[in-house]
């Protein structure tokens, strides 16, 4: 006879001993563990896609502002151009990091 405990693990009430019973239980637990691991991976990927999407909107605005500043940079001092280049490099690095979240 089988009884379902907590909806997860079947328990055999007939007392059996030996390797075949242990092998059955081990196989069952391995399959359940694999299923749980796949579900967790899927949930994590979904969450990362959401985070990436949420970050892209403000980053697109920053990209636009950096482009406008670049067009007007002819009147900038050397220090200001340096800051603009640092901002562009940081923006590019952030986009590269976000691209890794797609994978």
Alpha helices in the chain (DSSP H): 19-71, 78-102
Contacts with 3 (C-beta within 8 Å, 6 or more apart), sequence order: 10, 11, 13
For 100, phi and psi rounded to 5 degrees? Answer: -70, -25
For 18, phi and psi rounded to 5 degrees? Answer: 115, 170
Work out the percent of the chain whose per-residue pLDDT is above 70.
77
Q: Which residue has the higher pLDDT, 8 or 79?
A: 79
Domain ranges for the chain: 2-102
Contacts with 35 (C-beta within 8 Å, 6 or more apart), sequence order: none
Contact yes or no for 36/28 (Cβ under 8 A): no
Tens digit of pLDDT for each residue in 41-71? 999 888 888 888 888 889 999 999 999 999 9
């Amino acid at each position: 006879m089988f009884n379902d405990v907590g909806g997860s693990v079947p328990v055999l009430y007939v007392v059996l001993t030996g390797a075949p019973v242990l092998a059955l239980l081990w196989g069952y637990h391995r399959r359940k563990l694999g299923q749980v691991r796949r579900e967790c991976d899927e949930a994590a990927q979904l969450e990362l896609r959401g985070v990436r999407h949420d970050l892209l909107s403000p980053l697109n605005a920053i990209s636009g502002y950096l482009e406008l500043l670049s067009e007007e940079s002819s009147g900038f001092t050397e220090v200001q151009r340096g800051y603009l280049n640092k901002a562009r490099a940081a923006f590019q690095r952030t986009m590269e990091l976000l691209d890794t979240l797609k994978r």
